[in-house]
Amino acid sequence: MIIGNAATQRGLQQHNLYSDLVVVGGGLSGTCCAITAARAGIKVVLVQDRPVLGGNASSEVRLWVLGATSHMGNNNRWAREGGVIDEILVENLYRNPEGNALIFDTILLEKVHLESNITLLLNTSVFEIEKKENNISAVKGYCSQNQTHYILHAPLFCDASGDGVVAFQSGAAFRMGAESAEEFGEKFAPTAEYGELLGHSIYFYSKDTGKPVRFIPPSFALKDITQIPRYRQFNTKDFGPWLWWLEYGGRLDTIQDSEKIKWELWKVVYGVWDHIKNSGQFPEAENLTLEWVGHIPGKRESRRFEGDYMLIQQDIIEQREHYDAVSFGGWSIDLHPADGVFSEKPGCNQWHSKGVYQIPYRCLYSKNVDNLFLAGRLISSSHVAFGSSRVMATCAHVGQVVGMAAKLCIQKELLPRTLSAHDHIGILQQELLTTGHHIPTLALSVGLDLLKLASIKTSSDLVLHELPPNGPMLPMVHAVAQMLPLKKGKLPSITAWVEAVQDTVLTVQFRTSSKPQNHTPDVVLSEQKISLKKGKQEINLNFEREMPEAAYAFVCFLKNEDISLQYSNHRVTGLISVFNKTNPAVSNYGKQDPKDDIGVEGFEFWTPQRRPNGLNIAMKISGGIDLFGAENLSNGVQRPTMQPNAWVADFADVNPSISLHWNEKKTIQSIELFFDTDFDHPLESVLLTHPETVIPFCVRNYKILDEGGDLIQEIRDNYQTINRIEFAEAIECSALTFEFEHPDELIPAAVFQLIVK
Ligand SMILES: Cc1cc2nc3c(=O)[nH]c(=O)nc-3n(C[C@H](O)[C@H](O)[C@H](O)COP(=O)(O)OP(=O)(O)OC[C@H]3O[C@@H](n4cnc5c(N)ncnc54)[C@H](O)[C@@H]3O)c2cc1C
């Protein structure tokens, strides 16, 4: 028994914790930062003021995680972020294809819980900092659940708190609001009338109880729904993130007025629900009840802190290259009117770039606080560029950079800024690429020595002569293109199959992208018009032009509703069909066509369909495409970019395998295989359901054998992108054979990269 005798005063308990890195904020950025740092070998304290991790992606707010793939609505092919965030999203697909936000919470908690290098402090709010000269020496947090004060000491700190609670108090230079167009020459910079800050939102979920349910609104609910100019858009189907435009607060201080903004949003949400339940306009709502309403708002924008570089509109639109590129973005520049839900204007103003853009390392640390990293939405970007870099998969990817940078700083006794020097940055880039992290235009070059020393034999290499005509015939209600990776030089002749309902003319164009790393078909290399007779027929396409350089080409069949096109059920890593169609959810109306001079480009959108749709167009390709060989295993690129970058077995190969032979015995400690989990497929984490739990391209079963044919390792039922096999005791061998099973009889086995160390 504890007896507390009367005392004049008592203090709460206090713990001092020492680590290499303190990460403040357990949103996706802070979480991925902490995991990356911990796996790289440094001690991390991750402090999160909420009971769960994930920030806006958590069950407390319930936003779906998006990034450069943009709901599959833009031209950024194979652009899902790599590394820890990919592992998390692929795991979520496997366990939670229905998008239950509570399950997503458990995945994040589990990932952090598994890392022995992370001390996780949940329900702990950081409220103060200590500084010595230009360095933060400690931050202080308080957990009301265990009535404990924490003093967290470390040589390095990362502010991933969204609002910048550490960076602000440490005196880091910051901005809040929008830059003028003149400051950086950003033509899309908004006027004060449009608004200079994005507001908060609160979501709700509803559910059908199977019997009538009444709703009596709280007294604070909005009474007059017509105060919301777009109130006619409400219906009983859209809830959760579909109602992202229930936004408010862009004209207030989104930090200091946050509680006030929350009450206004509750007023809106309960007013909307009152409208749905009690206006009489939605009889189908009779059995619906409110299942959940957010208790905290999702925050979009507040402070942005200044690094040595500030990302601006032109970096995104012109896809400027940076020596210190460490991450990438690809969401549209997405600004909202500051009046939010009460605005007469459209809820957002989104403009896409023709491809993904690089994010430089110099945006990820404070320009005036020496040991402070920045991660998440508060990184050094202008208001306009923030409009794109703020989405969660991008924030998570940026967090991974900070995690790895912190490890290098500890290892080499550097400060964040010193790591940006030319002679250090390459090491950071390479260490990131080793973890599956993607940096556009960069390739992994370390850790491949053993592979490069080996003579590599494969049981077969796919030479793509044909996508057999074994799929459906589908009418060309949109223009459709088959993307094909090609070498520089003469375009191949193509045979395809069509059916016309009457005599007509089919127009086919061979296109490519003005930048070889892009997948926007903005250059027409050649065009052919073919007269078709009514009925089924084979067509032959011969183009006299050349591919200017190795890249993806687009065989575009322009829209003609009198024609059906033959598809194939065969799917291959790095091949995809795309359609010139719309996706209003991400402001894709088939073509981006800026009317004003706002510094963005006009171009067409050619986007894929989600499975089970999205079949390849059946075709024969003269000479075949021989870009799926074993040399891809060591080219250092772990996803399709300008080329497929994968070894792919032949469809007919019944026993696909890769063998590595060395002249002498090698000591092998670990093996890593990078499989195809379709980086083109966005993995929205909540609400949206996915048609599969395992990406169909992914190798599930394989064996590793030594030179004597003895089994070293067998893996079954894999679904992850990266398989790391760490041997408790190093093995000695002069050969390794990898025997794969095809993921499906219509999908050949594929491997992007093999690392043997
Ligand atoms: C309504 C809305 C819709 C959006 N739509 C999308 C979308 O569809 N897809 C998408 O990807 N992005 C979307 N975004 C953007 C995205 O959610 C944010 O930009 C992103 O969450 C920022 O990530 P972060 O890790 O920096 O911050 P957060 O996700 O906000 O995480 C920061 C964490 O730090 C914690 N924290 C704050 N202060 C402290 C403190 N003092 N001590 C300890 N912890 C603290 C917070 O509780 C929070 O959990 C949307 C944003 C909003 C608000």
Instruction: State pLDDT tens for residues 532-561.
Output: 999 999 999 998 889 999 999 999 999 999
- The DSSP secondary-structure symbol of 640 reads -
**What domains are there in the chain, each with its CATH number?**
13-179+301-434 (3.50.50.60), 200-293 (no CATH), 449-460+628-756 (2.60.120.260), 464-624 (2.60.120)
In ligand 1, the atom with minimum distance to the C-alpha of 300 is: 53
Which of 66, 121, 161, 259 is the pocket-test mutation for ligand 1 (most atoms within 8 Å of CB)? 161
Q: What is the pLDDT of residues 553-586, one digit of tens each?
A: 999 999 999 999 999 999 999 999 999 998 888 8
The Cα–Cα gap between 619 and 616 comes to 9
The Å distance, Cα 193 to ligand 1 centre, comes to 26
Say what the pLDDT of residue 719 is. 98
CA of residue 28 to ligand 1 center, whole Å: 8
pLDDT band at 233 (very low <50, low <70, confident <90, very high): very high
Q: What is the pLDDT of residues 167-187, one digit of tens each?
A: 999 999 999 999 999 999 999
Atom 13 (ligand 1): residue with closest C-alpha?
391
**According to the model, what pLDDT value does residue 586 have?**
86
Q: How confident is the model at residue 589, as a pLDDT?
A: 87
Query: Cα(162) to centroid of ligand 1, in Å?
Result: 6
At 757, the amino acid letter reads K
- How far is the centre of ligand 1, averaged over its atoms, from the C-alpha of 169 (Å)? 20
Distance 251 CA to ligand 1 centre (A): 19
Give yes or no for a contact between 292 and 252, defined as CB atoms under 8 angstroms apart: no
Q: What angle do CA 383, 388, 393 make, to 5 degrees?
A: 130
Of 286, 45, 259, 29, give the one whose Cα is nearest residue 164: 29
Residues 75 and 352 sit within 8 Å (Cβ to Cβ): yes
Identify whether the C-beta of residue 565 lies closer than 8 Å to the C-beta of residue 495: no
pLDDT digits (tens, 9 = 90+) for 379-434: 999 999 999 999 999 999 999 999 999 999 999 999 999 999 999 999 999 999 99
pLDDT value of position 688: 86
**Rounded to whole angstroms, how far apart are CA atoms 693 and 90?**
9
Residue 373 reports pLDDT greater than 90: yes
| Pocket perturbation via mutation, ligand 1, pick of 63, 301, 380 by most ligand atoms within 8 A of CB | 63
Backbone angles phi, psi at 672, to 5 degrees: -130, 135
What does the block give as tokens for 700? 């599930």
| CA nearest ligand 1 atom 21, residue | 56
The atom number, within ligand 1, closest to the CA of 67 reads: 11
Q: Is the peptide bond prior to 297 cis by the omega test (within 30 degrees of 0)?
A: no
Atom number in ligand 1 closest to CA 50: 47
Ligand 1 centroid – CA 27 distance (Å): 6
Angle between helices 84-95 and 28-40 (to 10 degrees): 110
pLDDT of 474 reads 97
Ligand 1 pocket mutation, candidates 29, 35, 56, criterion most atoms within 8 A of CB = 56
127 CA closest ligand 1 atom index:
41
Which atom belonging to ligand 1 lies closest to the Cα atom of 66? 11
pTM: 0.97
What is the pLDDT at residue 162?
Answer: 98
Looking at residue 492, the DSSP 8-state letter turns out to be P
- pLDDT bucket at 24, cuts 50 / 70 / 90: very high
Residues 247-295: pLDDT tens digits? 999 999 999 999 999 999 999 999 999 999 999 999 999 999 999 999 9
What pLDDT, on a 0 to 100 scale, did the predictor assign at position 417? 98
Nearest alpha carbon to residue 297 among 334, 247, 341: 247
- 634 DSSP assignment: G
Query: Which of ligand 1's atoms lies nearest the C-alpha of 299?
Result: 53
Mean pLDDT, the chain, whole residue set: 97
Residue with CA closest to ligand 1 atom 14 = 391
**Coil, helix or strand for 404?**
helix
Amino acid at 327: S
Q: What was the pLDDT predicted at 228?
A: 96
Q: What is the pLDDT of residue 241?
A: 86
Mean pLDDT for 151-159 is: 98
Ligand 1 site residues (CB inside 6 A) read 24-30, 47-50, 55-56, 63-66, 125-126, 160-163, 165, 200-201, 241, 244, 298-300, 376-377, 390-393, 395
Alpha helices in 279-317 (DSSP H): 313-317
Residue 165 Cα: closest atom of ligand 1: 41
Contact 658, 458 (CB under 8 A): yes
pLDDT digits (tens, 9 = 90+) for 452-486: 999 999 999 999 999 999 999 999 999 999 999 99
Q: Determine which residue's CA is closest to atom 45 belonging to ligand 1.
A: 25
Q: Is 590 exposed, middle or buried (0-12, 13-18, 19+ CB in 10 A)?
A: middle
**pLDDT at residue 755 in the model:** 96
- Scan for tokens 């690809």, then name that residue: 330
pLDDT interval class at 754 (50, 70, 90): very high
Distance of alpha carbon 699 from alpha carbon 362, whole angstroms:
38
Distance of alpha carbon 566 from alpha carbon 663, whole angstroms: 49
- pLDDT tens-digit profile of 336-348? 999 999 999 999 9
CA of residue 237 to ligand 1 center, whole Å: 25
**CA dihedral sign of residues 375, 377, 378, 380:** positive
User: Range with the lowest mean pLDDT among 236-240, 519-523, 711-715?
Assistant: 236-240
Report the separation in Å between the CA atom of 213 and the middle of ligand 1, taken as the mean of its atom positions.
34
Q: Name the DSSP letter for residue 63.
A: P
Minimal-distance CA residue to ligand 1 atom 3: 244
pLDDT digits (tens, 9 = 90+) for 303-335: 999 999 999 999 999 999 999 999 999 999 999
Q: Atom of ligand 1 at shortest distance to CA of 31?
A: 25
